[in-house]
Amino acid sequence: MDEPNIISVTGLCNSFGDQVIHQDLNIEVRRGEILGVVGGSGTGKSVLMRSIIGLQEPSAGEIRVFNEAMIGKEEDEITDVRRRWGVLFQGGALFSTLTVAENVQVPLQEFYPDFSKELRDEIARYKIYLSGLPAEAAHKYPSELSGGMRKRAGLARALAMDPELLFLDEPTAGLDPIGAANFDNLTRDLKETLGLTVFLITHDLDTLYAICDRVAVLADHKVIAIGAIEELLAIDHPWINEYFSGPRGRAARRGHGAADDKAGVETQQRGRS
Protein backbone atom coordinates (compact mmCIF):
# COMPACT_ATOMS: atom_id res chain seq x y z
CA MET A 1 0.00 0.00 0.00
CA ASP A 2 1.33 3.41 -0.95
CA GLU A 3 2.40 5.71 1.86
CA PRO A 4 0.02 8.63 2.49
CA ASN A 5 0.89 12.04 1.15
CA ILE A 6 2.84 14.19 3.59
CA ILE A 7 0.25 16.98 3.23
CA SER A 8 -3.35 16.59 2.10
CA VAL A 9 -5.70 19.59 1.93
CA THR A 10 -9.32 19.07 0.89
CA GLY A 11 -12.10 21.63 0.42
CA LEU A 12 -10.20 24.42 2.17
CA CYS A 13 -12.00 27.74 2.61
CA ASN A 14 -10.41 30.93 3.99
CA SER A 15 -11.88 34.41 4.09
CA PHE A 16 -11.33 37.72 5.85
CA GLY A 17 -14.68 39.40 6.25
CA ASP A 18 -16.24 39.58 2.79
CA GLN A 19 -12.94 38.87 1.07
CA VAL A 20 -12.75 35.25 -0.05
CA ILE A 21 -9.16 33.97 -0.23
CA HIS A 22 -9.68 30.24 -0.76
CA GLN A 23 -12.81 28.39 -1.83
CA ASP A 24 -12.81 24.59 -2.08
CA LEU A 25 -9.02 24.43 -2.39
CA ASN A 26 -7.40 20.99 -2.78
CA ILE A 27 -3.70 20.15 -2.76
CA GLU A 28 -1.48 17.19 -1.95
CA VAL A 29 2.25 17.12 -1.30
CA ARG A 30 4.12 13.88 -1.94
CA ARG A 31 6.86 12.53 0.27
CA GLY A 32 10.34 13.53 -0.91
CA GLU A 33 9.31 16.17 -3.44
CA ILE A 34 9.93 19.90 -3.66
CA LEU A 35 6.54 21.40 -4.44
CA GLY A 36 6.58 25.00 -5.64
CA VAL A 37 3.48 27.09 -4.95
CA VAL A 38 2.86 30.09 -7.20
CA GLY A 39 0.08 32.58 -7.78
CA GLY A 40 -0.63 36.24 -8.25
CA SER A 41 -0.73 38.78 -5.46
CA GLY A 42 -3.65 38.15 -3.13
CA THR A 43 -4.16 34.50 -4.08
CA GLY A 44 -3.31 33.41 -0.54
CA LYS A 45 -0.04 31.51 -0.90
CA SER A 46 1.15 32.44 2.58
CA VAL A 47 -2.37 32.04 3.99
CA LEU A 48 -2.36 28.47 2.66
CA MET A 49 0.93 27.75 4.40
CA ARG A 50 -0.26 29.34 7.63
CA SER A 51 -3.42 27.24 7.47
CA ILE A 52 -1.42 24.05 7.10
CA ILE A 53 0.86 24.83 10.06
CA GLY A 54 -2.02 25.95 12.27
CA LEU A 55 -1.51 29.72 12.35
CA GLN A 56 -4.69 30.43 10.36
CA GLU A 57 -8.01 28.81 11.26
CA PRO A 58 -9.91 27.98 8.04
CA SER A 59 -13.67 28.36 7.86
CA ALA A 60 -14.05 24.94 6.23
CA GLY A 61 -12.10 22.02 4.86
CA GLU A 62 -9.74 19.32 6.03
CA ILE A 63 -5.96 19.45 6.47
CA ARG A 64 -3.88 16.37 7.21
CA VAL A 65 -0.10 16.42 7.80
CA PHE A 66 1.68 13.09 8.21
CA ASN A 67 -1.87 11.70 8.00
CA GLU A 68 -2.87 13.55 11.19
CA ALA A 69 -5.90 15.87 11.14
CA MET A 70 -4.86 19.44 11.94
CA ILE A 71 -8.04 21.54 12.04
CA GLY A 72 -9.86 21.96 15.33
CA LYS A 73 -6.98 20.62 17.40
CA GLU A 74 -5.46 22.27 20.45
CA GLU A 75 -1.79 23.16 20.18
CA ASP A 76 -0.72 20.39 22.55
CA GLU A 77 -2.60 17.84 20.45
CA ILE A 78 -0.39 18.47 17.41
CA THR A 79 2.94 18.83 19.23
CA ASP A 80 4.28 15.57 17.81
CA VAL A 81 3.45 16.71 14.27
CA ARG A 82 4.99 20.16 14.79
CA ARG A 83 8.25 18.52 15.84
CA ARG A 84 8.45 16.98 12.38
CA TRP A 85 8.40 20.21 10.39
CA GLY A 86 10.49 23.36 10.13
CA VAL A 87 9.41 26.76 8.81
CA LEU A 88 11.33 29.58 7.14
CA PHE A 89 9.08 32.64 7.10
CA GLN A 90 9.50 35.59 4.75
CA GLY A 91 12.56 37.62 5.68
CA GLY A 92 13.72 34.99 8.15
CA ALA A 93 11.54 36.27 11.05
CA LEU A 94 14.49 36.13 13.45
CA PHE A 95 14.33 37.50 16.98
CA SER A 96 16.34 40.70 16.82
CA THR A 97 17.53 40.52 20.44
CA LEU A 98 18.95 37.00 20.05
CA THR A 99 22.13 35.89 18.33
CA VAL A 100 21.95 33.49 15.40
CA ALA A 101 22.82 30.56 17.68
CA GLU A 102 20.19 31.61 20.20
CA ASN A 103 17.60 31.91 17.42
CA VAL A 104 18.39 28.38 16.27
CA GLN A 105 17.95 27.12 19.82
CA VAL A 106 14.44 28.59 20.27
CA PRO A 107 12.57 25.49 18.99
CA LEU A 108 14.92 23.23 20.96
CA GLN A 109 14.06 25.09 24.16
CA GLU A 110 10.35 24.86 23.34
CA PHE A 111 10.21 21.16 22.56
CA TYR A 112 13.16 19.82 24.55
CA PRO A 113 13.57 22.05 27.60
CA ASP A 114 15.65 19.40 29.37
CA PHE A 115 18.46 19.60 26.83
CA SER A 116 21.65 20.96 28.36
CA LYS A 117 23.11 24.25 27.15
CA GLU A 118 26.13 22.37 25.82
CA LEU A 119 23.91 20.11 23.70
CA ARG A 120 21.85 23.05 22.41
CA ASP A 121 25.06 24.88 21.49
CA GLU A 122 26.37 21.85 19.65
CA ILE A 123 23.14 21.38 17.70
CA ALA A 124 23.06 25.09 16.82
CA ARG A 125 26.64 24.97 15.51
CA TYR A 126 25.78 22.01 13.29
CA LYS A 127 22.60 23.59 11.88
CA ILE A 128 24.46 26.84 11.19
CA TYR A 129 27.06 24.80 9.30
CA LEU A 130 24.31 23.01 7.33
CA SER A 131 22.80 26.36 6.32
CA GLY A 132 26.07 27.45 4.74
CA LEU A 133 26.88 30.20 7.24
CA PRO A 134 30.41 30.65 8.61
CA ALA A 135 30.95 29.52 12.19
CA GLU A 136 31.46 33.09 13.42
CA ALA A 137 27.90 33.97 12.36
CA ALA A 138 26.65 32.08 15.42
CA HIS A 139 27.51 35.00 17.70
CA LYS A 140 26.13 37.75 15.48
CA TYR A 141 22.75 39.46 15.79
CA PRO A 142 20.34 39.66 12.83
CA SER A 143 21.09 43.38 12.37
CA GLU A 144 24.72 42.45 11.73
CA LEU A 145 23.88 40.07 8.89
CA SER A 146 23.24 40.65 5.20
CA GLY A 147 19.84 39.75 3.77
CA GLY A 148 21.14 36.47 2.40
CA MET A 149 22.76 35.55 5.71
CA ARG A 150 19.52 36.26 7.57
CA LYS A 151 17.72 33.85 5.23
CA ARG A 152 20.30 31.18 5.98
CA ALA A 153 20.04 31.85 9.71
CA GLY A 154 16.27 31.39 9.43
CA LEU A 155 16.88 28.17 7.54
CA ALA A 156 19.24 26.96 10.28
CA ARG A 157 16.46 27.53 12.82
CA ALA A 158 13.98 25.70 10.59
CA LEU A 159 16.36 22.72 10.55
CA ALA A 160 16.89 22.72 14.32
CA MET A 161 14.52 19.83 15.02
CA ASP A 162 15.76 17.54 12.21
CA PRO A 163 12.48 18.00 10.33
CA GLU A 164 11.08 15.70 7.68
CA LEU A 165 9.02 18.53 6.17
CA LEU A 166 10.29 22.02 5.40
CA PHE A 167 8.11 25.08 4.66
CA LEU A 168 9.90 27.89 2.79
CA ASP A 169 8.05 31.18 2.20
CA GLU A 170 9.71 33.24 -0.56
CA PRO A 171 13.23 32.17 0.45
CA THR A 172 14.99 33.93 -2.46
CA ALA A 173 12.98 37.18 -2.38
CA GLY A 174 15.31 40.17 -2.22
CA LEU A 175 18.43 38.18 -3.05
CA ASP A 176 20.67 38.94 -6.01
CA PRO A 177 20.76 36.28 -8.78
CA ILE A 178 23.93 34.66 -7.45
CA GLY A 179 22.62 34.55 -3.88
CA ALA A 180 19.27 33.18 -5.07
CA ALA A 181 20.94 30.45 -7.14
CA ASN A 182 23.14 29.50 -4.18
CA PHE A 183 20.09 29.23 -1.92
CA ASP A 184 18.33 27.08 -4.53
CA ASN A 185 21.33 24.75 -4.68
CA LEU A 186 21.44 24.57 -0.88
CA THR A 187 17.72 23.70 -0.72
CA ARG A 188 18.11 20.93 -3.29
CA ASP A 189 21.21 19.53 -1.56
CA LEU A 190 19.50 19.52 1.84
CA LYS A 191 16.43 17.83 0.38
CA GLU A 192 18.56 15.07 -1.14
CA THR A 193 20.94 14.68 1.81
CA LEU A 194 18.35 14.80 4.59
CA GLY A 195 15.44 13.24 2.71
CA LEU A 196 13.26 16.31 3.13
CA THR A 197 9.88 17.10 1.67
CA VAL A 198 9.70 20.82 0.80
CA PHE A 199 6.64 23.08 0.49
CA LEU A 200 8.08 26.13 -1.29
CA ILE A 201 6.22 29.40 -1.89
CA THR A 202 7.99 31.47 -4.52
CA HIS A 203 7.55 33.84 -7.43
CA ASP A 204 11.06 33.11 -8.74
CA LEU A 205 10.83 31.31 -12.08
CA ASP A 206 14.48 30.29 -11.92
CA THR A 207 13.81 28.56 -8.59
CA LEU A 208 10.87 26.69 -10.07
CA TYR A 209 12.91 25.41 -13.00
CA ALA A 210 16.02 24.68 -10.95
CA ILE A 211 14.70 22.63 -8.03
CA CYS A 212 10.94 22.03 -8.04
CA ASP A 213 9.59 18.59 -8.91
CA ARG A 214 6.04 19.91 -9.31
CA VAL A 215 4.37 23.32 -9.20
CA ALA A 216 0.90 24.16 -7.83
CA VAL A 217 -0.82 27.21 -9.32
CA LEU A 218 -3.19 29.27 -7.15
CA ALA A 219 -5.83 31.28 -8.99
CA ASP A 220 -9.58 31.80 -8.80
CA HIS A 221 -9.48 31.04 -5.02
CA LYS A 222 -8.11 27.51 -5.45
CA VAL A 223 -5.36 25.35 -6.92
CA ILE A 224 -6.27 25.29 -10.60
CA ALA A 225 -3.46 22.96 -11.69
CA ILE A 226 -0.52 21.02 -10.32
CA GLY A 227 2.26 19.26 -12.18
CA ALA A 228 5.69 19.65 -13.72
CA ILE A 229 6.26 22.98 -15.48
CA GLU A 230 6.29 21.26 -18.87
CA GLU A 231 2.82 19.97 -18.06
CA LEU A 232 1.53 23.33 -16.88
CA LEU A 233 2.52 24.88 -20.21
CA ALA A 234 -0.28 22.86 -21.80
CA ILE A 235 -2.93 24.57 -19.65
CA ASP A 236 -4.99 27.30 -21.28
CA HIS A 237 -5.44 29.74 -18.42
CA PRO A 238 -4.66 33.49 -18.63
CA TRP A 239 -2.47 33.66 -15.53
CA ILE A 240 -0.56 30.48 -16.34
CA ASN A 241 0.04 31.68 -19.89
CA GLU A 242 1.24 35.10 -18.78
CA TYR A 243 3.45 33.76 -15.99
CA PHE A 244 5.15 30.83 -17.69
CA SER A 245 5.08 32.01 -21.31
CA GLY A 246 5.75 35.72 -20.83
CA PRO A 247 9.23 37.24 -21.39
CA ARG A 248 10.59 36.19 -17.99
CA GLY A 249 9.10 32.73 -18.27
CA ARG A 250 10.63 32.20 -21.70
CA ALA A 251 13.99 33.45 -20.44
CA ALA A 252 13.91 31.09 -17.44
CA ARG A 253 12.94 28.19 -19.68
CA ARG A 254 15.83 28.88 -22.05
CA GLY A 255 18.22 29.37 -19.14
CA HIS A 256 17.41 25.96 -17.71
CA GLY A 257 17.18 24.13 -21.01
CA ALA A 258 13.55 23.17 -20.48
CA ALA A 259 11.49 21.87 -23.37
CA ASP A 260 8.00 22.96 -24.37
CA ASP A 261 6.53 19.52 -23.83
CA LYS A 262 2.75 19.54 -24.02
CA ALA A 263 2.27 16.57 -21.71
CA GLY A 264 -0.80 16.04 -19.59
CA VAL A 265 -1.39 17.72 -16.25
CA GLU A 266 -3.16 16.85 -13.05
CA THR A 267 -5.89 19.47 -13.28
CA GLN A 268 -8.03 20.19 -10.26
CA GLN A 269 -11.46 21.00 -11.59
CA ARG A 270 -13.57 23.78 -10.16
CA GLY A 271 -16.47 22.43 -8.19
CA ARG A 272 -14.54 19.38 -7.03
CA SER A 273 -15.91 18.22 -3.72
Using one digit for the tens of pLDDT, what is the confidence trace for 182-237? 999 999 999 999 999 999 999 999 999 999 999 999 999 999 999 999 999 999 99
Distance CA 93, CA 265 (A): 35
Distance CA 151, CA 172 (A): 8
- Asked if the model's pLDDT at residue 169 lies above 80, the reply is yes
DSSP state of 259: -
Starting at the earlier edge strand, list the strands of the sheet with 60-65: 19-29, 7-16, 60-65, 68-69
